[in-house]
Structure 1
Amino acid sequence: MKKFENFVHNILKSKVKKTLVIVLTAVAFFASLMMFPTKLVLAKMLPGKSDNTYSIYVDTPTASSIEETKKVTSCITNILTKEKYVKNMSIFYGQGIPLDYAGLVKGASMKRTENVTEISVNLTDKHTRKEPSFLMTQRLRPIIDKECGHIISGSTIKLVEQPSGPPTLASIVVEVQGDNIKQSRELSVEVANILSNTKGLVDIDVMADDIYDTYKLIPNIDKVARSGLAIKQINNILYLAFEGMVIATKNSENHSDQIPIFLILSDKTKRLSDSSQDAIRSKLTSLNLMNQRGMMVPLSEVVDIKKVKSEPMIMHKDLKRMINVIAETDMVSQVYPLLDAREKMIEHFSKNYTVEKAGFSTYMFDLYLTDKQTGEKFLLRWDGEMKVT
């Protein structure tokens, strides 16, 4: 002990020795950091967590019907029922799983459309199960994708495990920020294609609604007045025929909230022979209303059909428009796929954009893109589990 004290005192007394120790410590520190990019040591931010549950997110293309979503979901549940470690499961059509820890930041509360489904899969106790949940999801992912991914073209199926640490949107997140929303959507698709071709990444998804054709049914006020009908009368029959509506509520001692009573004309009125304007007009012709003079008036005579593009959801962060592209890692660290994908993006986008790398900071993986023709600026900001941890 005395020798060690003398050794320390000798260093502290000499200015040269103190400087040498600081330099050697700094060199050792940076040399240890270089072990990760050089792959002398393989790093993993957080270990895999074996849990008694995991979730499956099903996203069919925007504007898909609930029947189409159910086809994909049924295929998945048929596969899961054959698993010996699956105890039971709960299916939530058109909404997120309530009280889901991982879903807190994954946007489950915003899911309110027919093209989404979340499945909560409950497993046998992890202490008596030979296969950890993270290995089970890794094994089932290609099976489910092969059997169910092609049923509805453009569907994405994500197997989501309970996070080992703080919940994040995904293991790897690329925020595509820019004022030109159309070009941002194109950039996000290119980013997703690069991530899809990066080894070690799965469940790639672009968190943006597809743009598709829709039809607006607009009551013609002049024709409605001349036909002896009321606007409210037409609106009600349109909702009853195509959507359905709540007409009353029921109280029950078993429920804290009122139970809505939902009414629809029939299941046939909601269905069209095809997605053309003629099919909608034919459906309107089959719906008749009685006016004040006792005459039956077909809806096609008083309702105009207007074809418009859908309005996709626009996401903002720090008052900037953005589109998230997410990906999960398949039993590998987030570091190496991120670095590989980033190099591919630099090479790919250099053809049409001036690419600038961010400086040494918490955003050091970010890429600043400037369109060579228009001068418009875009930002590819990296986020996800590695950023949080």
Structure 2
Amino acid sequence: MARKELFIERFVYDLLESPLKKFVALLVMFIILVSSVWLVTSELVKVKLLPKPLADNFSIYVDLPEGKSVYETKEVTECILNHLKNEEIITDMSVFYGESAPVDFSAMLKGRLFEQGENIANILVNLKREDERDETSIDAVHRLRTIINTNCTMYDNKIKMVESPAGPPSIAALVLEVTGGEGYDDRLDLSEKLLVLFEATPRLVDFDILRDEPYQKYGITLNAHKIMQSGLQIEQVTKILYLAFKGMDIAYDNNVNAQNQVSIHLTLNQDSKGMYKASKLMLEQSLASLMLLNAQGMTIPVIEVVEVAIEQSNPRIVSKNLSPMIAVVAETDMESQIYSLLYIQNKILNDFSDSYDVEKVGLLDLSLRNKQSKATYLLHWEGEQKVSMDTVTDLGMAMGVAIVFIFFMMVIYYKNFALAGAIVLASFISVAGVIYAHLIYDMFTPHTFYMTGTSLIGFIALIGINSRNSLLIIDFAQQLMDEKGMDARKAIAVAIQTRAKPILLTVLAIIFASMLLATDPVFGGLGIALIGGTLAAYAVSLLIVPIMIYRPLKKEYLSKGESDV
């Protein structure tokens, strides 16, 4: 072992003695640092700040256009159930027609809690425990989404597979809010053009425009003149219509064993009031079968005293910050949101330039101005991507504060700005090891291994670890210079030789501890960041730190020599 230590000492001494070797070492480190940044920009190492957690369940939202009946909704839902019931990894399923599934935070934020009607259904799917199946929930949803959308797309429906959110729940992974324009129809026209871009974007699924689908409805108007001529009352006609189609409480059952009165609800049965086809003629036939008894004892068909008219539905207008808005949403399928967002943004800048004047607003938002109508629109990105950008901002600020804090602590400790700057700069270089570790680990995983928000936490931790390594070397080198009168070059070489083994033991301890995190879907980025970063920090301590601290320590040695004289 002594020969190895002497080798390290001799290697560092020769490195500091030769300007050419120092230049080559710094050049190699600069190339490694630049190439690590290139790995991220070229998407060889992909970034996804909020990784999806594994779960034992997922939900399916079934949406048919407004005006579709419960029979059509059941047809779509039964098709989905028939394809899922033979899946071995599924234990049970629950179906909720016309109402929300059991409430969770994600459903509340997506607004699913308030969605009701014959045209919607929710399916809650429970999977086997993670240790009882070979397929993860993310892989299962990815595989089943293709099967269901291929076989159960009918009646212009929308089927959305909803997984556990990666972070705080949002309406969707990508949400593009469209505001401005000359009215609802104007915004809707632009939103439909944007939806085409969403559909053409690779690895985007569950596209939708959050608006009410236009549909025909039938209004029943009471003819007061005919009602009076028929010897009926307006209240009588109103009640029979509600009684027939909506139902109403007509009496109460006073049961001695019941704590409260039990209401008796009367309505027509489903076969009598249901219509298998939406048409004015069928509604008129249903109204003709309803009879009312007037004061003279004569029966009057309801159709004789009412009028049926075909009407167009009124769209729901959603506003945000007092501005009417339409949102185009989509989910990512095993892909990071940022790449889909940038792809769509570039397509808008290129494809919309013929009809609109497109300008960037802030970091990601866009402003569009129609060249013909002069109408102005604002395209604002929201959703899970907004949470990701907030995470980057917060972690970036935390890293900046950590670097500044460490720098001033070193300045106070060593009373030397150059030495403190060398420590911080050497610590920052170890970041390249994090990126290369993600690249290597991604080669051995079946799916893309993303650099996540937890990886950024590893960045911050590594700055402290590498600063500690540099501090140990500098303190021991200064001690050798003060007590044994060694020059700076010799003191640094001996200090690194002596401290190499303790630093290596610390590196190995961090690596073995981080290996437990490496396979975790959420904290795997932190584990890989610590493994790659500590290895890089060790290499930096042996090769780069000596070069960085040599000149400040040499000046310190010379200044002390002059003061002694």
Indicate whether 1:146 and 2:145 are aligned.
Answer: no
| Higher share of residues assigned strand | 1
Summarize the Cα distance change of 1:258–1:323 in structure 2 as closer, same or farther, 3 Å threshold. farther
Answer whether contact 2:103 2:113 (CA < 8 A) is retained: no
Kindly tell me: are residues 258 and 322 of structure 1, through their superposed partners in 2, closer, same or farther at Cα, counting changes over 3 Å? farther
Query: Does residue 68 of structure 2 align to residue 64 of structure 1?
Result: yes
The alpha-carbon distance between structure 1 residues 348 and 315, as it changes in their structure 2 partners (threshold 3 A), is: same
**DSSP-derived class of the 2:131 partner:** coil
The answer for the alignment partner of 1:181 in structure 2 is: 184
Residue 286 of structure 1, CA deviation: 2.2
Is 2:113 the counterpart of 1:109? yes
- Indicate conservation of the 8 Å contact 1:101/1:162, yes or no: no
Supply the AA of the counterpart residue of 2:66: T
Question: Is 1:234 paired with 2:237?
Answer: yes
User: 2: CA distance between counterparts of 1:240 and 1:32?
Assistant: 72
What secondary structure, in the 3-state scheme, does the structure 2 residue paired with 1:375 have? coil
Which residue type is aligned with residue 54 of structure 2? S
Return the offset for 1:158: 0.6
Quote how far apart the aligned CAs of 1:104 are: 2.3
- The structure having more radius of gyration, on CA atoms, is 2
1:327 CA drift (Å) = 0.6
Query: Shift of the alpha carbon at 1:33?
Result: 6.8
Contact 2:191 2:209 in 1 (8 A): yes
Residues 1:310 and 1:101: Cα distance change in structure 2 (over 3 Å): same
> Residue 269 of structure 1 aligns to which amino acid in structure 2?
S
Relative to its length, the structure with more helix (as a share) is 2
Report the counterpart of residue 12 of structure 2 in structure 1: none
Cα displacement (A) at 1:337: 1.2
Residue 193 of structure 1 pairs with residue 192 of structure 2: no
Q: Secondary structure at the match of 2:140?
A: helix
C-alpha contact 2:273 2:286 (8 A) present in aligned 1: no
The Cα shift of 1:75 comes to 0.9
**Residues 245 and 177 of structure 1, relative CA distance in 2, 3 Å threshold:** farther
Between stretches 64-73 and 243-252, larger displacement belongs to 243-252
Equivalent of 1:55 in 37, 54, 59: 59
Which amino acid in 2 is paired with 1:213? Q
Q: Distance in 1 between matches of 2:221 and 2:108?
A: 39
Q: 1:309 to 1:259 in 2, by over 3 A?
A: farther
Q: C-alpha displacement at 1:132, in angstroms?
A: 0.8
| Superposed displacement of residue 303, structure 1 | 0.4
The one-letter code sitting in structure 1 at the alignment partner of 2:180 is G
Indicate the residue corresponding to 1:284 in structure 2.
Answer: 287
* Aligned position for 1:369: 368
CA distance in 2, matches of 1:256, 1:91: 31
CA shift in 2, pair 1:187/1:82, >3 Å: same
Letter in 2 for 1:368: S
CA–CA separation in structure 2 for the residues paired with 1:254 and 1:31 = 79
Deviations 1:311-369 (A, max 9, x none): 1222111111111111111111111111111212223322322211113xxxx211111
Kindly provide the CA deviation profile for residues 228-256 of structure 1, in whole angstroms up to 9, marking residues without a partner as x: 11112111222233333344577999999
CA drift at 1:260: 6.2
Give distance in 1, aligned partners of 2:34 and 2:370.
36
Q: How does 1:199-278 map to 2 (within 5 A)?
A: 199-247=202-250, 261-272=264-275, 274-278=277-281
User: How many Å separate the matches in 1 of 2:127 and 2:48?
Assistant: 26
Please list every run of 5 or more consecutive structure 2 residues that lacks an aligned counterpart in the other structure. 1-29, 389-565
1:133 aligns with 2:137: yes
Secondary structure of the structure 2 residue equivalent to 1:233? helix
Distance 1:291-1:146 versus aligned 2 partners, 3 A rule: same
Contact 2:319 2:325 in 1 (8 A): yes
Note if contact 2:67-2:217 (Cα within 8 Å) is conserved in structure 1. Answer: no
- In the alignment, what sits opposite 2:353? 350
- Please give the alpha-carbon distance, in whole angstroms, between the structure 2 residues aligned to 1:257 and 1:175: 49
| Range 98-107 or range 259-268, more displaced | 259-268
User: 1:45: which partner in 2?
Assistant: 49
Tell me the amino acid that sits aligned with residue 140 of structure 1. L
CA distance in 2, matches of 1:43, 1:171: 15
Answer yes or no: is the 8 Å Cα contact 2:221–2:306 preserved in 1.
yes
SS state at 1:112 partner: coil
**Among 337, 340, 358, the residue aligned to 2:340:** 337
| TM-score, normalising length: structure 1 | 0.84
2-structure distance, mates of 1:201, 1:266: 44
Alignment equivalent of 2:82, drawn from 73, 78, 83: 78
Q: For the residues of structure 2 that align with 1:145 and 1:256, how far apart are their CA atoms?
A: 49
Moved more, 371-380 or 325-334: 371-380
How many residue pairs end up in the alignment? 359
What is the CA–CA distance in structure 2 between the aligned matches of 1:344 and 1:202, rounded to whole Å?
18
Contact 1:104 1:167 in 2 (8 A): no
Q: TM-score, normalised by structure 2?
A: 0.59
* Secondary structure of the corresponding residue to residue 192 of structure 2: helix
Aligned partner of 1:80: which letter? L
